[in-house]
Amino acid sequence: MLRLIVTRILLMLLAVFTVLTALFFGIRLGAGDPTVAIQGSYATAESLAKLSQALGLDKPLWQQYLIYLAGLLRGDLGVSIQNGRPVLQQILQVVPYTLDLTFWGVLIGVVIGVPLGFLSAIRRNSLLDHAIRVVTLSGISVPPFIMGYVLIIVFVIGLGLFPVAGGGDRDDLVSRFSYLTLPALSLGLIMTSYVTRVTRTAVLEVLTKDFIRTGRAKGLSEGAILYRHVLRLTLVTLVTLVGLYATITVGSSVVIEVVFSRPGVGQLIVGAISQSDYTVVQGAVIFYAAFVSLVNLAVDLAYAVIDPRISYE
């Protein structure tokens, strides 16, 4: 297990480093000049040159890269080109909002989707099964931002039950969840559709195994079969699914944060891109890359716990 953890951590660091390197050079070669974004298009060449020198943008690209890597080793993500604030500080301020949204979106999808998937598989080809499949197919077809606007129309404009913009007071639990409910539902309901369909497929596959028929022939109840055999054998699939959609959900949170004007890493990235703020974009993408890598590490470790037969040698 220790060897597995060390190997996965090294691969995680390599993945984050690769993303960082590609982003560092790609964004500087393809984006606009941040000094123009700061001073405006009517700034003189002399003032632009002075600002470029002050920001360190006059140095060769390879030298800027080495300076940035040296800062990362010290835990320094640099400072914002636009406002001079430390990038790490800005990210830490909004990360809790993004993690809240991701966690509750995934939780809603799992808590609703897994039971629905089991129910659909157990009642295969029944009216209930067809209804669940139609509803989940509709859910898959709806983009998260459309789901967000629908929820705003129904619960904000129509019923006036929830606030529509902002993240609420982090120290006030009621305020925090009132602002979180609709964004989390926007992601969670769509994830529910995916989880339901994948769970249904996984359960149906297990139910066709010979040992399931043998268990029924020996008089085992359906509850015992589902709990002792089907659930355990579908856990690997479910863990894979949760890990996969956790990474998808944190990516989709960018759109949801914009729709609901909610603070978060995604909202931070959108603002930084519009201002050609290289360092903020880099820091935020490093967060996303690290999050995805950590989720994959957790999934790998969960495999080893759930099914010791899975080997990583």
The CATH number covering residue 188 comes to 1.10.3720.10
Please say which residue of 257, 274, 291 terminates a domain: 274
Please say which residue of 82, 109, 129 terminates a domain: 82
- What would the mean pLDDT of 83-100 be, rounded to a whole number? 85
pLDDT at 55: 63
pLDDT reading at 161 higher than 70: yes
Residue 147 sits in the same domain as residue 187: yes
Counting residues of the chain whose pLDDT is more than 70, the rounded percentage is 78
pLDDT at 126: 86
Of 52-66, 130-144, 216-230, 239-253, the least confident: 216-230
Residue 122 sits in the same domain as residue 223: yes
Give the Cβ contact number of residue 98 at 10 Å.
27
- What would the mean pLDDT of 69-89 be, rounded to a whole number? 80
Banded pLDDT at 224 (limits 50, 70, 90)? low
Please say which residue of 28, 51, 82 terminates a domain: 82
Residue 235 sits in the same domain as residue 146: yes
In a domain, 279, yes or no: no
| 12 membership: H or E segment, kind and range | helix 2-30
pLDDT reading at 158 higher than 70: yes
Residue 139 sits in the same domain as residue 253: yes
Residue 108 sits in the same domain as residue 34: no
In a domain, 31, yes or no: yes
Q: How far apart, in whole angstroms, are the C-alpha atoms of residue 68 and residue 62? A: 10
pLDDT reading at 51 higher than 70: no
Banded pLDDT at 44 (limits 50, 70, 90)? low
In a domain, 280, yes or no: no
Residue 102 sits in the same domain as residue 232: yes
In a domain, 303, yes or no: no
Banded pLDDT at 56 (limits 50, 70, 90)? low
pLDDT reading at 94 higher than 80: yes
Residue 254 sits in the same domain as residue 112: yes
pLDDT reading at 308 higher than 60: no
Alpha helices in 152-277 (DSSP H): 173-207, 210-217, 222-225, 231-259, 265-274
Residue 269 sits in the same domain as residue 182: yes
- Identify which has the larger pLDDT, 112 or 29: 112
Banded pLDDT at 171 (limits 50, 70, 90)? confident
Residue 31 sits in the same domain as residue 150: no
In a domain, 221, yes or no: yes
For residue 13, give its domain range.
2-82
In which residue are the tokens 């993945």 written? 15
In a domain, 247, yes or no: yes
Instruction: Please tell me the total count of domains within the chain.
Output: 2
CA 128 to each of CA 16, 64, 117, 138, 232: distance values in angstroms, whole numbers, following the listed order:
45, 60, 11, 15, 24
Banded pLDDT at 202 (limits 50, 70, 90)? confident
Q: How far apart, in whole angstroms, are the C-alpha atoms of residue 115 and residue 229? A: 16
- Identify which has the larger pLDDT, 297 or 57: 297
Length of the chain as a residue count: 313
Q: How far is CA 308 from the centre of its chain?
A: 28
